[in-house]
Structure 1
Amino acid sequence: MILAVLFANSVGNILVERFHGVPSEERLQWRSFLVKLGADNLKGVKNEELLVACHKSVYIVYTVLGDVSIYVVGKDEYDELALSEVILVITSAVKDVCGKPPTERRFLDKYGTICLCLDEIVWKGLLENTEKDRIRRLIRLKPPTEF
């Protein structure tokens, strides 16, 4: 299961978060842990260079894209290899929406569309869609033509 997807700015403020199967009392701990992890390790990292961590039997894959840090947390069948696929789909969708690696301002300008993309990619803790064209069609809120 994909437990969390978080986006944070360069100073550690959460821009978007999605938790699945994580009790609300644990979410603050995860937020602070992930932001601290990023602050310690993301300095000087190139865009889309993937970093991996393991904590409490869960896997964390994270990267930086422009001014935004992206964290994906998973367990069980979502190990570091599966999470790397998830984060690549997410970064690709964000780049498509923003037109380039985003600044914090551009990310917030496209906030609604990014949230729609995120909901189409990860649904209830599972990887739902990976195809760019399908995600692009689904975020226009029109029904898909093929079944």
Structure 2
Amino acid sequence: MLLTILISNFAGHILLERFNGVPSEERLHWRTVLVKLGADNLKGARNEELFVSSQKSVHIVFTMLGGVCIYIVGKDEYDELALTEVMFVITSSIKDACGKSPSERLFLDKYGKICLCLDEIGILENTEKDRIRRLIGLKPPNPTEI
């Protein structure tokens, strides 16, 4: 089961989070653990270099992409290998939505489109980059309809 997708800046401020089956009383714990894990390990790391960790019975894969840090937590069938594939899909989708590796500002500018990408990926229903791009295609609103 894919438990958490969390994206933060380097200062540890959470930009986006998705929890799946995590009780609300445990969410603060996971936020703290993941941000501390990134602060301890991502300094001096290369862009998209993957890091792996385990805590209790869960697996954690995390990386930095431009100016943001991405963390994924899974358990059971979502071991390190499966989470690595999830990470590849997420980083590819974010780079496509932003046009390049995002700075924190660019990430926030494209926040809506990135959320749509994560929603379309779901629990690994869609892992093809081209299909995700087609599914998130939005038409701008017609000014006469507003």
Q: TM (normalized to structure 2)?
A: 0.93
User: Would you say 1:132 and 2:138 are equivalent positions?
Assistant: no
- The answer for unaligned runs of 5 or more in structure 2 is 140-146
- 1:1-147 matches, within 5 Å, as 1-122=1-122, 126-140=123-137
User: Which is higher, the Rg of structure 1 or of structure 2?
Assistant: 2
How far the C-alpha of 1:137 sits from its partner, in A, is: 1.0
Aligned to 1:127, the other structure's residue is in SS state coil
Residues in 1 aligned to 2:130 and 2:91: alpha-carbon distance in whole angstroms = 15
Aligned to 1:120, the other structure's residue is in SS state helix
Residues in 1 aligned to 2:75 and 2:36: alpha-carbon distance in whole angstroms = 20
Residues in 1 aligned to 2:83 and 2:138: alpha-carbon distance in whole angstroms = 26
Aligned to 1:32, the other structure's residue is in SS state helix
Aligned to 2:5, the other structure's residue is in SS state strand
Root-mean-square deviation over aligned CA pairs: 1.0
Aligned to 1:78, the other structure's residue is in SS state coil
Aligned length: 139
- Partner amino acid, structure 2, of 1:133: D
Name segments (4+ residues, structure 1) moved above 6 Å. Answer: none
Identity %: 73
How far the C-alpha of 1:141 sits from its partner, in A, is: 5.5
Tell me what 1:145 maps to: none
- The answer for unaligned runs of 5 or more in structure 1 is 143-147
Residues in 1 aligned to 2:10 and 2:35: alpha-carbon distance in whole angstroms = 10
- Partner amino acid, structure 2, of 1:57: S
Q: TM (normalized to structure 1)?
A: 0.92
CA deviations on 1:20-69 (whole Å, 9 max, x unpaired) are 00000100000000000000000011011000000011000000000100
Aligned to 2:100, the other structure's residue is in SS state coil
Residues in 2 aligned to 1:30 and 1:6: alpha-carbon distance in whole angstroms = 9
Residues in 2 aligned to 1:74 and 1:138: alpha-carbon distance in whole angstroms = 25
